[in-house]
Structure formats: structure tokens, C-alpha cells
């Protein structure tokens, strides 16, 4: 006799298999990897071109001591650009670094929202329109990006670091 729960189990297995196939397929991984890499390289390079404006934005959050402000204003965009390059060249640590940066950005943006700060997001330059609404939009964007990255972190850990390696293992 087939129970009602066995139908749910089969359905959940099918869904799990679809997600598993999408995660180990090289094309969705490549698309996500290249898009995130470009996003982080662009964001890092834009801020590196004008570190004073970025330092001013960081200062508005009042989370970094003035003494460390120049180091953070240059170091953080540099780390962003390096993480983007690592992801572009499919280095396994690139995805981990991107995830840590996204979590850090979400924390800072959440702090800005909860503190009702009227400051720029600082994501892609010094002056963004509608500052408080920009913080919320950037916060939600970062949460969505974390939601996109996390399954690939799981897949990289579970099935190997690169999509091509995962696919060759299955053959």
C-alpha cells in the first residue's frame, strides 16, 4: 500500500534532483560566476578611482575609526576587485570571499537602515540617489545575491570546487 507521504517524498526527490542538476551543470554556474565577478570588479575599481569619496561614505556610517579610514577605503575595494578576479578565474576561494563580503555589506547596510542613517550605500560610487531607499534596495540586493551564492558554496563543498570537475565526475 502506498501512503500519502510517499507521494510527497517522490515529489521532493524530483525537486532535489532538478536543483542538483542545475547546480552541477556548468552553464548556470558560469553565468552566476561571471556576473558576480563583473559586479565585484566594477564595484571595486569604481571605488579605487575615488578613495576619498568612498572614505567619506564609510565615515558616514561611523563604524570605522578615523585612523583606519584610509586603509579601509583602499583595502576594501581592492579586496572586492581581487575577489571578483578570483571568481572570474574560477579560484575556489573566490566564492568564499564573495560570500564573506556580501555578508559584511548586508550587515553594514542593515546597520544603516536600523540606525535610520541618511547616507549613500557606497556600493558603486559616492553619490547614489535617494539615500535611505538606496540602503534598503542595496540591502535586499545583497540578500538576494547571498541567496544565489549559497547553493553554489554548498555544491562546491559537496561535489567539488569547479563545475567542470563536477560534470566530469558524473560521466
Along the chain (171 residues), what's the average pLDDT of each consecutive run of 10 residues? Answer: 55 70 72 91 92 89 91 95 94 90 93 85 62 78 90 68 47 48
Do residues 71 and 54 lie in contact, with contact meaning Cβ atoms separated by under 8 Å?
no
Task: Say what the pLDDT of residue 157 is.
Answer: 63
Secondary structure of the chain: what % helix, strand, coil (to 5)?
80, 0, 20
Whether residue 78 contacts residue 128, with contact meaning beta carbons closer than 8 Å, is answered with: no
CB contact set of 133 (below 8 Å; sequence gap of 6+): none
**Buried-state track 102-139, b at ≥16 Cβ within 10 A, e below 16:** beebbebbeebeeeebebbbbbebeebeeeeebbeebb
How much is the pTM? 0.76
CA–CA distance from 130 to each of 136, 138, 152 (Å)? 10, 12, 33
Amino acid at each position: 500500500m502506498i501512503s500519502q507521504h510517499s507521494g510527497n517524498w517522490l515529489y521532493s526527490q524530483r525537486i532535489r534532483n532538478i536543483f542538483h542538476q542545475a547546480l552541477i551543470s556548468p552553464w548556470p554556474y558560469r553565468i552566476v560566476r561571471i556576473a558576480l565577478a563583473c559586479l565585484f570588479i566594477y564595484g571595486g575599481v569604481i571605488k579605487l578611482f575615488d578613495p576619498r569619496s568612498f572614505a567619506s561614505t564609510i565615515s558616514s556610517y561611523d563604524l570605522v575609526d578615523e585612523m583606519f579610514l584610509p586603509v579601509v577605503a583602499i583595502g576594501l575595494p581592492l579586496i572586492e576587485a581581487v575577489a571578483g578576479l578570483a571568481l572570474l578565474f574560477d579560484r575556489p576561494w573566490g566564492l568564499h570571499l564573495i560570500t564573506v563580503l556580501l555578508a559584511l555589506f548586508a550587515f553594514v547596510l542593515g546597520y544603516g537602515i536600523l540606525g535610520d542613517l541618511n547616507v549613500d550605500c557606497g556600493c558603486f560610487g559616492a553619490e547614489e540617489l535617494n539615500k535611505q531607499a538606496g540602503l534598503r534596495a542595496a540591502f535586499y540586493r545583497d540578500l538576494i545575491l547571498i541567496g544565489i551564492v549559497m547553493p553554489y558554496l554548498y555544491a562546491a563543498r559537496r561535489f567539488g570546487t569547479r563545475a567542470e570537475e563536477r560534470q566530469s565526475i558524473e560521466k
